[in-house]
Amino acid sequence: MERDLGSRKVQCVGRGSFIISLPKEWVHEMKIGRGSEIIFKVLEDGSALLIPRESFKDRGSEKTALKEYWLYVKPEDSFESLCRKIMALYIVGADIIHLRFKDKSCLQKHRTAINDLVKNDLLGSEIIDESENEITIRILINHSSLPVEMAIRRMAVLALAANKEVISALKSEGNNFMKAISDTYNDVNRLNLYVIRQLKYHLERGLFKELGFKSPKEFLGYRIVANDLKSIASNALHVANNISSLKKLIEDGILISKEPLDEEIYAQISDFCSLMHKTYEESLKAMFKRDYEEADKILSKIEKYSDMERNIAVAIFAKKLDPNIALTLGLILDALRRIIEYCRNITEITLNRTIDDFVS
């Protein structure tokens, strides 16, 4: 708890040395004696933080202690509820999660769901022990092995690749694309949870400079970007499912269409997709480089993309395509429109985090 211990006058002694007396109450509480060392840290606002070295060592040992949690699972608990609890513990920084079940049958009921969760969603996690009524999950990855910026860059590569795969799926035969897009979505989701875990860890400890941030306010921007990337992958998976359903209708003869896609429309959508991907990559690059001017230029370009989207939508309507095909093309166009919004989010984040540097 914060307390007011009064004020002290600074005295000048010797050759320009300055001394100040320490509050006796605080000295006794912290067990400071003759010869004790005090660590001085200057904070952002210019104020000073005094930490007895022994106390600082104790804090260091506390940080290295593993965070263990125990979850007691009842037979009536659903897979979904249990998985949400495990993911929440992962995000808040758990190092070890013990799952204790009422009996062996309860464990067997949930084992598959837990294995899938650890494998598909929790980056750097492994099941390290299992008994008749307990499963232990250990998060092995440390905070320096995969920096936040690197994780977000990887998310961007995967999410945009999934979006591109959807466009290609319009002209491909069969549904082989579904597994690739589904796997990519799982990879993006896994990285997203890891990024949230990392951001929360650094935010709670005030370690914003370690991430290249100039203030804690920048954590929110990176959180928004990670969420947008997950949405890109999620939208790609949704459209892929729709394309898969459309292909099945054609294969089963329910939808009669020898040429399910108009070449002119496909070319327009493909070009628009390439433009969106390029703009998104440029937006992300400007954010990482803290480039205000580049972000401002990108934002000006983005304003013109709405007209391009509208022209493609009009062309789809004018072709009088089968409603199922038109709906699928509309979903793809909507996914690309969302990428425009995500580009706008990133550029605005860049402008907000760098405006002080630009005007100073």
Whether the predicted pLDDT of 2 surpasses 70 = no
Share of residues in the chain with pLDDT > 90 (%): 45
Q: Say how far residue 290 (Cα) sits from the centre of its chain.
A: 19
- Return the DSSP state at 66: -
Indicate the burial class of 330 (C-beta count within 10 angstroms; 0-12, 13-18, 19 or more).
middle
Whether the predicted pLDDT of 185 surpasses 80 = yes
Which range is most confident: 256-270, 311-325, 326-340?
326-340
pTM across the whole model: 0.77
**Residue 138, SS3?**
strand
Please state the rounded mean pLDDT for residues 213-222: 86
Task: Tell me which CATH homologous superfamily contains domain 148-359.
Answer: Phosphate transport system protein phou homolog 2; domain 2 (1.20.58.220)
- Return the DSSP state at 103: S
- Predicted confidence band at 12 (pLDDT cuts at 50, 70, 90)? confident
Please state the rounded mean pLDDT for residues 201-207: 84
- Predicted confidence band at 72 (pLDDT cuts at 50, 70, 90)? very high
Strands (E), the chain: 11-13, 17-19, 38-42, 48-52, 68-73, 96-101, 125-130, 134-139
Q: Say how far residue 139 (Cα) sits from the centre of its chain.
A: 17
Question: What's residue 129's pLDDT?
Answer: 93
Secondary structure in 3-state letters for 7-56 = CCCCEEECCCEEECCCCHHHHHHCCCCCCCCEEEEECCCCCEEEEEHHHH
Q: 11-63 maps to which CATH number? A: 2.10.260
Look at 59 and 174; give whichever has higher pLDDT: 174
Class of domain 66-139: alpha beta
- Predicted confidence band at 62 (pLDDT cuts at 50, 70, 90)? very low
Look at 357 and 230; give whichever has higher pLDDT: 230
- Return the DSSP state at 210: G
Look at 113 and 33; give whichever has higher pLDDT: 113
Query: In this structure, are strands 48-52 and 38-42 parallel, antiparallel, or unpaired?
Result: antiparallel
Question: What's residue 5's pLDDT?
Answer: 74
Please state the rounded mean pLDDT for residues 151-161: 94
Whether the predicted pLDDT of 322 surpasses 80 = no
Distance CA 151, CA 198 (A): 10
- Predicted confidence band at 64 (pLDDT cuts at 50, 70, 90)? low
Whether the predicted pLDDT of 59 surpasses 70 = no
| DSSP-assigned letters across all residues of 287-319 | HHHT-HHHHHHHHHHHTTHHHHHHHHHHHHHHT
Q: What pLDDT, in 10s, does the model give residues 116-138?
A: 999 999 999 999 999 888 999 99
Q: What pLDDT, in 10s, does the model give residues 277-298?
A: 999 999 999 999 999 999 999 9
Listed by start position, the domains of the chain span 11-63, 66-139, 148-359
Question: What's residue 121's pLDDT?
Answer: 92
